[in-house]
Structure 1
Amino acid sequence: MDRFADLLDTLAFTPSRNAKLTLLADYLRRVPDPERGYALAALARDLDIPAVKPAQLRELIGARMDAELFAYSYDYVGDLAETIALAWPERASIPSRNDAPGVAEVVETLQAASRREGPALVEAWLDRLDPPGRYALLKLVTGGFRMGLSARLIKQALAGFGQVEVNEIEELWHGLAPPYLDLFAWLEGTGDKPVNAAAAPFRPVMLSHAIDEADFERLDPADFAAEWKWDGIRVQAVSERGINRLYTRTGDDISASFPDLVDAIAFDGALDGELLVARPGEGGVETGSFSDLQQRLNRKTVTAKQVREHPAFFRAYDILQDGREDLRALPFIARRARLDAFVAGLDPARFDCSPLLDFADWDELARLRADPPFAVIEGVMIKRKAAPYLPGRPKGEWFKWKRDPFLIDAVLMYAQRGHGKRSGYYSDYTFGVWREPGELVPVGKAYFGFTDEELLKIDKYVRDNTIERFGPVRSVRAGPDKGLVFEVAFEGINRSSRHKSGVAMRFPRISRLRWDKPPAEADRLETLERMIDGED
């Protein structure tokens, strides 16, 4: 456990992506099987330990310290595992790392344990560990790592460790299981490459670059096709040997969250496209907002009502596999012709194609981008007609040209501590705009877009101007004459019955701090409502 604890501690204070990759690769070289495999699975959120749940951990610490004191501590620290690790009473003798359980011992013991046995095992281990070890144990058990580790970054670390292409790892991943003994044998040159035995595997996606003015000067519009950029989430629908799966762009299997769409996959192949909420209407498919889609995201189970009110829909824009034929080496324009014919045979209540746009030059495409027909469109995609489907982000093949963000001035209303390295700072902000008669109503939340130096200034402002506390949340002084104004950028806005203001923003972030602007001059709710009306 000590090596895993050291890794977590170092990763938490390593902001650089490349440095994280180096740390992970070094850990994989130094640590033997099966410990490294279980640690990797935990970091990738692919480790399932049902014998212990967070509520049981709360009960354990509740028996060791005053409940109110723990509540105050948890409020300050902001992370359950870290709070318990720091607050857990030490034994009379100082724990020795020689007494620490190993990662493999913990995982294999808990996976064989019942829900009744699991907490007692964890309690005994906590007594044997020092604070870093306790933190590593609890994170291993519960997951929830907050240190900038995506599933793709972990796969890139594996690829660097074994000197292979990351797409080779991605195509194998869903056929593997912890502790990945065959995978490590192949990467170290002592075994054959594992055969992906999983049906309907994920295929690494092709990504785009943001386009800029210089690109337009060197690109010939005749060489490119364009289509709308839809405001949903990028997914891959795959079916093989009777198995249907739905993956995110990073390869996470989200099939269980969208059973209505997965059940409608009546084909043998792999499609790339956008997950939306939509239903057929009199004028064609009526596409919902991203707020509608959020009602279905990140749910392990869904109710019949959720499926009925927010039906999942797949808008296709590429085909990777048709039956057993791999189409990725074909030019985009040839794949597109195959896609149109393929989707024509699917259920129109669940599948359609993203239409190609007719344009003669970049100016004409700019006019289309500036006036899209639907609010759920956030820009255009520009794709080279001759481009094969290449994993990663190849240069010069696909471009995204998003609409300019919306900007408003809003007033800080509430603040909450962040997580990880921000756990000691108020870094999550709720902001509002004015509504008659002189009332601030919250319209969004943001936790990025500012520098570390600006974070320190906002944190001090929050502490100096707190007027009420609601658990971990602080209410901040905000009136016409006193308050902190944020310039907020966001990608879109929709009506929402779930919010007091009646509106919901898409991807809000702090664009800049307006220390110079009186709160009374911040925007009004009517301004946001006009933005919606302008998009409809």
Structure 2
Amino acid sequence: MRLFSALLERLAFTPARTVKLALLRAYFAEAPDPDRGYALAAIAGTLVLPAARRSLIRDIATARVDPVLFELSYDYVGDLAETVALIWPVREAAVEEPPSVSLVVETLRAATKSEMPGIVERWLDASAPSVRYAILKLMTGGLRVGASGRLAKTALAEIAGIAPDEIEEIWHGLEPPYRPLFDWIEGRESRPDPAGAPVFRPPMLAHPLEDADLAALDPEDWRAEWKWDGIRVQLVRTAGGVRLYSRTAENIGAAFPEILDALDATGEAVALDGELLVLRDGEAAPFAELQQRLNRKTPTGAMMARFPAFVRLYDILFDNGEDVRGLAFDVRRKRLEAWVERVRPERMDLSRLIPFADFSELAALREAARAASIEGLMLKRGASAYLPGRPRGMWWKWKRAPLTVDAVLMYAQRGHGKRSSYYSDFTFGLWREGEDGPELVPIGKAYFGFTDEELRFLDRWVRHHTIGRFGPVREVEKALVLEIAFDAAQRSTRHKSGIALRFPRIARIRADKPAHEADGLDAFVKAYLAH
């Protein structure tokens, strides 16, 4: 555990990607099995442990520490595991050694609910603060140390001298603690065979299209289709099962069982690339409706009926078990069209190609796309193979320009991980006429878009202008204007303002603008929701 805790600590305070990779390589080379395999699973978010409720950790901490002191400390630190690790008072000299990563995992899997508090207390008593932090993070998940599963796989690939995508293509056929994977990358065994498992294949991604790029393109070489406002998914059916993956390889099938059933009913060995949407009367609904489903891991029948899921297909990767990724896009498109015509799958259709003679036609279509819940356009070279990653010059995303609104900062909350000491989650609002005159109503929340320097400014501003406290939330003087960029707005009954924003981010801090000159809700609705 000491090796793992040292890794977490160094990763959390290391911004450079190359240094993070070096730290991960060193840990995987030095740590024993099965510790390193469980650590890899924790970093990748695939470590499944019995639910260690945050309330349990809070209860054992407040039994050992004055509750008021604990709450004040938690409020200041902003992270439960870090707070308990730092404030934990050891009752007597520890007689036990700190547990290993594998001991923590195996003990938690075997322990009863009544045994859990005593086990955790003994571990914390036997450990230094950094080790306590690692134990608690293993229990609760969400390491937040700036290292993703993809980064860990890249570190493993560098050890083996292979491409990270080679690991990605077998990843979902393996289970923690990944002994066959380590045997392969260290040269003791051959590459693990996923044996027909429905594994994820790294997706092909696009570059943003700039004016200079567009000027160099020949329209005859390119195919255009809409960029739909859902989430990119990969559907895979093999003899080993059916899976629905997000673009980041997260298995999200449990949230969309009707999609899994529809794919399974095809009876085909296939891998498809598409966009997950909620469809109403044949039209894509706003992203906010899909978000209702994304927030439910096990949807009810009523939820599925209210927000019917659908996949608009872009591409085909495997056709009847044949890998077709090396074929040109035009050829794959014909294969996909033939597959849809032959199989006629439920809850799926084709993303249509848009005919055009020159890019000025597409530019006009792109500008009119917002009203139809479309993000913009995709341009794909007709001769392009399906390549993992973001190969330059093959696919372009031509998104519509973001919308902006000037809003007033209303509330702030501390972030997590490296931001746990900063106020970095900001709620903002617009003016409307209330019973007693102008009042602000929240329209959204943003936690990115600003630089580190701007974050420090905002954090100081919140601390110096707090006028109310509601648990971890700070109400501030209604005096700072933020220019908020967003992709779309839709009506929402979940918010007091009656609207919700798609992908809001802070574009600019308008310290130069008086708060009373920020935008009004009525004007916003007329501008963006009149249709």
TM-score, normalised by the number of residues in structure 1: 0.94
- Residue 37 of structure 1 aligns with an amino acid whose one-letter code is G
Which residue of the partner structure matches residue 231 of structure 2? 233
CA contact 1:411–1:432 (8 Å) conserved in 2: yes
Which residue of the partner structure matches residue 445 of structure 2? 445
Runs of 4+ with >6 A deviation: none
Aligned mates of 1:100, 1:484 — CA distance in 2: 48
**1:92 equivalenced with 2:92 (yes/no):** yes
Q: Which moved more, 1:429-438 or 1:65-74?
A: 65-74
Q: 1:406 aligns with which of 403, 407, 411?
A: 403
Aligned mates of 1:375, 1:80 — CA distance in 2: 43
Q: CA deviation at 1:244?
A: 1.6
Q: 2:327 aligns with which of 310, 320, 330?
A: 330
Q: Which moved more, 1:269-278 or 1:435-444?
A: 435-444
Report the 3-state secondary structure (helix = DSSP H, G, I; strand = E; otherwise coil) of the residue aligned with 1:395: coil
Q: 2:369 aligns with which of 344, 368, 372?
A: 372
Q: CA deviation at 1:242?
A: 6.6
Change (3 A) 1:111 1:157: same
Which residue of the partner structure matches residue 339 of structure 1? 336
Which residue of the partner structure matches residue 521 of structure 2? 525
Which residue of the partner structure matches residue 49 of structure 1? 49
Q: 1:320 aligns with which of 299, 317, 322?
A: 317
- Residue 187 of structure 2 aligns with an amino acid whose one-letter code is G
- Residue 189 of structure 2 aligns with an amino acid whose one-letter code is G
CA contact 2:465–2:476 (8 Å) conserved in 1: yes
Aligned mates of 2:370, 2:82 — CA distance in 1: 49
Count of paired positions: 525
Report the 3-state secondary structure (helix = DSSP H, G, I; strand = E; otherwise coil) of the residue aligned with 1:342: helix
**1:79 equivalenced with 2:75 (yes/no):** no
Q: CA deviation at 1:316?
A: 0.5
Which residue of the partner structure matches residue 103 of structure 1? 101
Aligned mates of 1:348, 1:38 — CA distance in 2: 39
Change (3 A) 1:359 1:518: same
- Residue 38 of structure 2 aligns with an amino acid whose one-letter code is Y
Q: CA deviation at 1:59?
A: 2.0
Aligned mates of 1:88, 1:198 — CA distance in 2: 48
CA contact 1:50–1:115 (8 Å) conserved in 2: no
Which residue of the partner structure matches residue 249 of structure 1? 247
Q: CA deviation at 1:345?
A: 4.6
CA contact 2:407–2:428 (8 Å) conserved in 1: yes
Aligned mates of 2:32, 2:345 — CA distance in 1: 51
- Residue 323 of structure 1 aligns with an amino acid whose one-letter code is N
Aligned mates of 2:455, 2:149 — CA distance in 1: 28
Give per-residue Cα distances to partners, 1:89-108, cap 9 Å, x unaligned: 12433x59x92221122222
Q: CA deviation at 1:348?
A: 6.7
Give per-residue Cα distances to partners, 1:42-62, cap 9 Å, x unaligned: 111111111633222222113
**1:18 equivalenced with 2:18 (yes/no):** yes
Aligned mates of 1:389, 1:160 — CA distance in 2: 24
CA contact 1:78–1:417 (8 Å) conserved in 2: yes
Which residue of the partner structure matches residue 199 of structure 1? 197
**1:5 equivalenced with 2:5 (yes/no):** yes
**1:515 equivalenced with 2:503 (yes/no):** no
Report the 3-state secondary structure (helix = DSSP H, G, I; strand = E; otherwise coil) of the residue aligned with 1:63: helix
Aligned mates of 2:18, 2:206 — CA distance in 1: 21
Aligned mates of 1:292, 1:170 — CA distance in 2: 31
Give per-residue Cα distances to partners, 1:431-460, cap 9 Å, x unaligned: 001112411110111111112222222112
Which residue of the partner structure matches residue 473 of structure 2? 473
Aligned mates of 2:522, 2:414 — CA distance in 1: 31
Aligned mates of 1:162, 1:519 — CA distance in 2: 57
Aligned mates of 1:82, 1:373 — CA distance in 2: 43
**1:506 equivalenced with 2:464 (yes/no):** no
Report the 3-state secondary structure (helix = DSSP H, G, I; strand = E; otherwise coil) of the residue aligned with 1:152: helix
Report the 3-state secondary structure (helix = DSSP H, G, I; strand = E; otherwise coil) of the residue aligned with 2:278: strand
- Residue 215 of structure 1 aligns with an amino acid whose one-letter code is D
Give per-residue Cα distances to partners, 1:122-141, cap 9 Å, x unaligned: 22111100110100011112
Which residue of the partner structure matches residue 124 of structure 2? 126
Structure 2 unaligned blocks of 5 or more: none
Report the 3-state secondary structure (helix = DSSP H, G, I; strand = E; otherwise coil) of the residue aligned with 2:111: coil
Change (3 A) 1:409 1:234: same
CA contact 2:196–2:240 (8 Å) conserved in 1: no
Report 1:255-334 matches (<5 A): 255-265=253-263, 266-267=265-266, 268=268, 269-279=270-280, 281=281, 285-334=282-331
**1:495 equivalenced with 2:522 (yes/no):** no
CA contact 1:209–1:395 (8 Å) conserved in 2: yes
- Residue 181 of structure 1 aligns with an amino acid whose one-letter code is R
Report 1:49-68 matches (<5 A): 49-50=49-50, 52-68=52-68
Aligned mates of 1:171, 1:157 — CA distance in 2: 16
Give per-residue Cα distances to partners, 1:115-163, cap 9 Å, x unaligned: 3333322221111001101000111121111123333222222212221
Which residue of the partner structure matches residue 159 of structure 1? 157
Aligned mates of 1:346, 1:531 — CA distance in 2: 44
CA contact 1:51–1:114 (8 Å) conserved in 2: no
Report the 3-state secondary structure (helix = DSSP H, G, I; strand = E; otherwise coil) of the residue aligned with 1:467: strand
**1:34 equivalenced with 2:28 (yes/no):** no
Aligned mates of 1:373, 1:130 — CA distance in 2: 54
**1:417 equivalenced with 2:418 (yes/no):** no
Q: CA deviation at 1:346?
A: 5.2
- Residue 5 of structure 2 aligns with an amino acid whose one-letter code is A
Question: Aligned Cα RMSD in Å?
Answer: 1.7
Structure 1 unaligned blocks of 5 or more: none
Which residue of the partner structure matches residue 359 of structure 1? 356
- Residue 270 of structure 1 aligns with an amino acid whose one-letter code is A
Aligned mates of 2:359, 2:293 — CA distance in 1: 37
Which residue of the partner structure matches residue 146 of structure 2? 148
- Residue 139 of structure 2 aligns with an amino acid whose one-letter code is V
- Residue 43 of structure 2 aligns with an amino acid whose one-letter code is L
Aligned mates of 2:236, 2:51 — CA distance in 1: 32
Change (3 A) 1:161 1:523: same
Aligned mates of 1:439, 1:348 — CA distance in 2: 51
CA contact 1:151–1:250 (8 Å) conserved in 2: no
Aligned mates of 2:527, 2:10 — CA distance in 1: 45
Q: Which moved more, 1:248-257 or 1:367-376?
A: 367-376
Aligned mates of 1:161, 1:470 — CA distance in 2: 49
Change (3 A) 1:415 1:489: same
Q: Which moved more, 1:307-316 or 1:340-349?
A: 340-349
Report the 3-state secondary structure (helix = DSSP H, G, I; strand = E; otherwise coil) of the residue aligned with 2:89: coil
Aligned mates of 1:152, 1:355 — CA distance in 2: 32
CA contact 2:44–2:152 (8 Å) conserved in 1: yes
Change (3 A) 1:242 1:193: closer
Q: Which moved more, 1:443-452 or 1:198-207?
A: 198-207
Aligned mates of 1:153, 1:359 — CA distance in 2: 40
- Residue 493 of structure 2 aligns with an amino acid whose one-letter code is S
